[in-house]
A = this chain, B = another copy of it.
Amino acid sequence: MTVELISVGTEILLGNIINTNAAYLAEKCAMLGLSCFHQSVVGDNEERLEDTVRLALSRADIVILSGGLGPTKDDLTKEVTAKVFGKELREDTHTKERIQEYFRQVHSNQVTPNNWKQALVPDGAIVVDNHNGTAPGLILEENGKIAILLPGPPNEIKPMFERDIAPYLNRLQPEGIYSKMIKICSIGESKVETMIADLMDTQTNPTIAPYAKTGEVHLRVTAKAADEEAANALIAPVMEELFHRFGDKIYTTEENISLEEAIVRILEEKKLSVTTAESCTGGLLAGRILNVAGASNVYKEGYITYSNDAKERLLKVKRETLMQYGAVSPQTACEMVRGVAEATGADVALSVTGIAGPGGGTKEKPVGLVYVGCYVKGHVRVEEFYFTGNRDKNREYAVARALTLLREELLKYHA
């Protein structure tokens, strides 16, 4: 089946916001085995919206619209789609009660009159409850064509899609689509693709799709089958083969686990505490580890040591080391990581020192040169990297590489 995405909103046309909903919906639809050939953005204009909906319905089986379900007069998605399907709007008692209840909880009972507009639904539409806002989702079906209307705010559209829309889309298809994720670090994208080229060349069902992320590669294994059990039977041998090929380079098979979360879990399991000493990344590495809710169990404190003086005073990096090899050197990275472990008493530590750019590079030490030190219970490993991005990208990659290095060393460690 084919799907087409329409994002409704003048703020997207003006470039005020980035269209993250489209990327989210596109990835989810791909996961569900729906083919998407077109995405469109159109403003809150009746005529242009109608033309866009009609064109999309002429090309695709399913059209998913996001945005334009709000309470104001500008919000036209529901009205226009109902018109295209030849449906009248009627008040939905259940939705009206939910809106009343939502306002009771969030806004101490002050429903403004225009909010009742959100209780109007096209005749015959399936109403999908919104657990994070007032505009319900709506599904219209007619003559083999389907329009799915979803609210615009990401914190409303995502839970609604996961909970109700994905299962609905799966039921539409003669065979359901089921998938498993494998997230890989420590190997580059092209190497991963080479290592699975033979599998990808011959794949039919299940299929493997690689997604490159900063310093990681995600593989999604997707099967079509009558039910989840049958799908798992198809997916299992492929997963086994991937585990055979990538081994402990696979850091998780969970959708929602990030690399930093996987690392925090290993630290918790091995009862190790971690700290960081950052120069060029200036707090971003610590910030990423502390993205993980509950990371306070393993991360107690860390240092940002930009100046040589701070490296000497806080981390006990030797002045001779800084003089002889420079602040950006494997020697300094090594002394930094030993120093921060000592200063904090942490079992495990990371240090980062490098030249993020745009200035500060030399012929011997160009912009993008970064050293990462990793300390695990007395053992230190230092790695050298040459990144080729701008300042932001170089810092982002340095953080990703540091996390990868930490994970590798943690796997080797046994108490």
Please give the residue numbers on chain A whose beta carbons come within 8 Å of chain B beta carbons, in ascending order.
Answer: 12-20, 22-30, 36-43, 45, 48, 52, 55, 155, 209, 211-212, 276, 278, 281-287, 289-291, 293-296, 299-307, 309-310, 314, 344, 356-359, 390-392, 395
A13→B38 CA distance, assembly (Å)? 7
Contact (Cβ within 8 A) A42 B37 = yes
By a CB distance below 8 angstroms, the chain B residues around A55 are 55
Nearest chain B CB to A211 CB, angstrom units: 6
Contacts of A12 in B (CB 8 A): 22-23, 26, 39
Taking CB atoms, residues of chain B closer than 8 Å to A314 are: 301
- Contact partner of A15 among B26, B41, B45, CB < 8 A? B26
Q: A18-B20, A22-B41 are in contact. Are A305 and B301 (CB under 8 A)?
A: yes
A sample of 23 cross-chain residue pairs with beta-carbon separation below 8 angstroms, ordered by A number, consists of A14-B27, A14-B36, A15-B28, A16-B212, A18-B19, A38-B40, A38-B41, A38-B42, A39-B40, A155-B390, A276-B283, A282-B283, A282-B287, A282-B295, A283-B284, A290-B306, A293-B356, A296-B307, A301-B305, A301-B310, A302-B304, A303-B303, A303-B304
Contacts A281-B287, A303-B303, A309-B300 given; indicate if A294 touches B18 (C-beta within 8 A): no
Known: A41-B38, A282-B290, A283-B286. A27 touches B48 (CB 8 A): no
Which chain B residue has the least Cβ–Cβ distance from A43? B37
User: Contact: A300 with B306, CB < 8 Å?
Assistant: yes
B16, A19: Cβ atoms closer than 8 Å: no
Q: A26-B15, A306-B299 are in contact. Are A48 and B40 (CB under 8 A)?
A: no
8 pairs of A and B residues whose beta carbons are closest in the complex:
A15-B27, A282-B290, A283-B283, A15-B26, A283-B286, A301-B310, A300-B307, A39-B41
Cα A39 to Cα B294 in complex, Å, equals 41
A344 surroundings in chain B (CB, below 8 A): 310
Q: Give complex CA distance A37, B36 in Å.
A: 22
Q: How far is the CB of A315 from the nearest CB of chain B, in Å?
A: 10
Instruction: Chain B residues near A19: list those with CB within 8 A.
Output: 18-19, 22-23
**Pair B290/A283 contact, Cβ less than 8 Å:** yes
Per DSSP, chain A at the interface is mixed
On chain B, the residues within 8 Å of A294 by CB distance are: 359
Chain B residues, Cβ within 8 Å of A15: 22-30
Q: What's the least CB distance linking A167 to chain B, in Å?
A: 19
Compute how far the CA of A223 lies from the CA of B296 in the bound complex, rounded to whole angstroms: 52
A293–B27 Cα gap in the complex (Å)?
Answer: 35
| Closest residue on chain B to residue A278 by CB atoms | B283
With A19-B19, A284-B284 as known contacts, state yes or no: A291 contacts B38, CB within 8 Å.
no
Distance in Å: Cβ of A31 to nearest Cβ of chain B: 9
Could you tell me if B39 and A293 are in contact, using CB atoms closer than 8 angstroms? no
Known: A283-B283, A287-B281, A293-B357. A16 touches B27 (CB 8 A): yes
Decide: A302 near B283, CB < 8 A? Known: A13-B36, A15-B30, A390-B155.
yes
The residue of chain B having its C-beta at the shortest distance from the C-beta of A284 within the complex is B287
Residues of B within 8 A of A306 (CB): 290, 295-296, 299-301
Among A40, A48, A296, A306: residue with most chain B CB under 10 A: A306
CB neighbours of A48 from chain B (8 A): 37-38
Could you tell me the distance in whole angstroms from the C-beta of A57 to the nearest C-beta in chain B?
A: 15
Q: Looking at the assembled complex, report how far the CB atom of A214 sits from the nearest CB atom of chain B, in whole angstroms.
A: 12
Residues of B within 8 A of A300 (CB): 306-307, 309-310
The residue from B281, B291, B356, B359 contacting A391, defined by CB atoms under 8 A apart: B291
* A18 vs B18: C-alpha distance when bound (angstroms): 8
**Chain B contacts of A284 at CB under 8 A?**
283-284, 287
Q: Which has the most chain B C-beta neighbours within 10 Å: A17, A38, A48?
A: A38
In contact, A304 and B291 (Cβ under 8 angstroms): no
Chain B CB count within 10 A is highest, among A282, A284, A299, for: A282
Chain B residues with CB below 8 A from A356, complex form: 293
